[in-house]
Every structure is written in structure tokens, then in C-alpha cells.
Amino acid sequence: MIVAVLTQKGGAGKTTLALHLAGEWARAGASVLLVDADPQASAQDWAEQRARAGRRRLFGMVGLARETLHREVPDLARGITHVVIDGPPRTTALVRSALLAAERVLVPVQPSGFDVWASQAMLDLVAEARVYRPELKAHFVVNRRVVRTRIAREVQRAIASLGVPALEASLAQRVIYAEAAGSGLLAREIDRASPAVREVAALAAEVLRGRP
Ligand SMILES: Nc1ncnc2c1ncn2[C@@H]1O[C@H](COP(=O)(O)OP(=O)(O)O)[C@@H](O)[C@H]1O
Ligand SMILES: [Mg+2]
């Protein structure tokens, strides 16, 4: 499967989600390739940190922040079980290209009405891509949920009004994700007992289950 994690909002959690999904699927034995489509290359920075710390590689990674993504990804995906595209902020042309390459799109969003509304531009691009690829599936993924709270009703309403469903699984706001970003590790490698481990596993499983 080819999954793109996209939203033009910076800091929404694209790289965090992309790395943890790739790590989770690789751990389960799948061959996984992460395509870093962000010119800022944060996923590749993470991999470099990881190599420096002498940690073993969990999945392949390639930097491909080019508008020809959709033409190159099918070749790269040959023989690979799951490709995860970590999207760029802003750069609309790159996002468009990633949308043409992907079978599924995950749009990370923070649980505030404001953030949900800010995703409208992204959803417009999804609608545009569906003209060519009607089978393209898109879901919101709530990131940075406040621990031990439910998603506020107003946020659920905002999501529902945009016509793209949210996955049931979400990631909470946890220091461990920030630590993971800076250290070349995944949350589970920092602390196997962290609740982050379970939420990442639930998210990775739900994406593969492919809810309609
Ligand atoms: N659920 C979370 N809890 C705590 N920190 C998070 C969480 N998700 C992301 N972050 C942190 O927020 C920053 C931005 O996240 P990142 O995944 O890089 O977003 P993007 O790729 O969309 O720009 C990073 O420092 C990351 O570690
Ligand atoms: Mg990023």
C-alpha cells in the first residue's frame, strides 16, 4: 500500500506519524520504504541521528522532494509492502504529486476547530485528485489529543462537516514523540511501557484495515 501523510500545515505531525507508521509495519515484518517528500528533510535527519547512535535501520528511506513523485514512486514501490510518503508543508505542487502517487491519504490535525478548518485547502486538493483517482481514500488523524480526554464534540462536528472521516485511532500529546523526533528513535524504543506504543499500534492496524 502507498500511504501519504499530508497537510500543508507545518508542525501538524506528518513526520511523527510517517516514521511511527513505517516503524510499526516494519516491525511486523513488512518491507517498508519511507519517501521523504519534504525539502526540509526532517525524516532523513531522524535517520541520520539514528545511524549516528548506532541503531539498526528499520526501514528504507529515500529523499524525493520533487514534483515527479507520482511517476517515480510506482518504480520505488516495486517489491515493497508499504510505502509511506512524508509530505511537505506548503509546496502545493509536491502535495499534488504525492496525492497522485498515493492510495491512501492521512491528514494529521490537532484537536481544535481552528486546525480542522485550516485543513480545508488540503481537502480541496484531495477532491481535485479524486477526479483522476476516484478510489483515493482520505482520513483525518487526530494528533496531540490531550491525554485522557475525548475529542471535543465541536472538533468532531468540524471534522464531520468537512466530509472526510477521522480514523478512530489518534495520538495523544506526549513528550516521548518529541524525544523520538530528536533522537532518531521511535517511541517504543525509548520506553516500551509508554501508552504511545499502544496508540501507534492501534493506528497502524486501523490504517491497514482500510475502513471505507
Ligand atoms: N503527539 C505529539 N506529542 C508531542 N509532540 C509531538 C506530537 N506530534 C508531533 N510532535 C512534535 O511536534 C513537532 C512537529 O511535528 P512533526 O511530526 O515534525 O510535524 P510536521 O512533519 O507536520 O511538520 C515535532 O517536534 C514533533 O516531535
Ligand atoms: Mg515533517
pLDDT digits (tens, 9 = 90+) for 127-179: 999 999 999 999 999 999 998 888 888 898 999 999 999 999 999 999 999 99
Dump pLDDT digits (tens) for 55-77.
999 999 999 999 999 999 999 99
pLDDT at 184: 98
Is the pLDDT score of 211 beyond 60? no
Is the pLDDT score of 210 beyond 80? no
pLDDT at 150: 82
Pocket flag, ligand 1, residue 174 (CB < 6 Å):
yes
DSSP 163-206: T-PBPS--EE--HHHHHHHHHT--HHHH-TTSHHHHHHHHHHHH
Measure the CA dihedral 39/45/47/52, to 10°.
150
User: Where along the chain do its domains lie?
Assistant: 2-206
Pocket flag, ligand 1, residue 171 (CB < 6 Å):
yes
Mutation to probe ligand 1, out of 6, 15, 16, 186 (largest number of atoms < 8 A from CB): 16
> Residue 134 C-alpha to ligand 1 middle, in angstroms?
30
- When pLDDT is averaged across residues 94-105 and rounded to a whole number, the result is 97
Mutation to probe ligand 1, out of 6, 84, 177, 198 (largest number of atoms < 8 A from CB): 177
% of the chain residues with pLDDT over 70: 99
CATH fit for domain 2-206, picks 3.40.50.300, 2.30.30.100, 3.10.20.740, 1.10.150.20 = 3.40.50.300
Counted residue by residue, the chain has a size of 212
Is the pLDDT score of 203 beyond 70? yes
Average pLDDT across the chain, whole number:
95
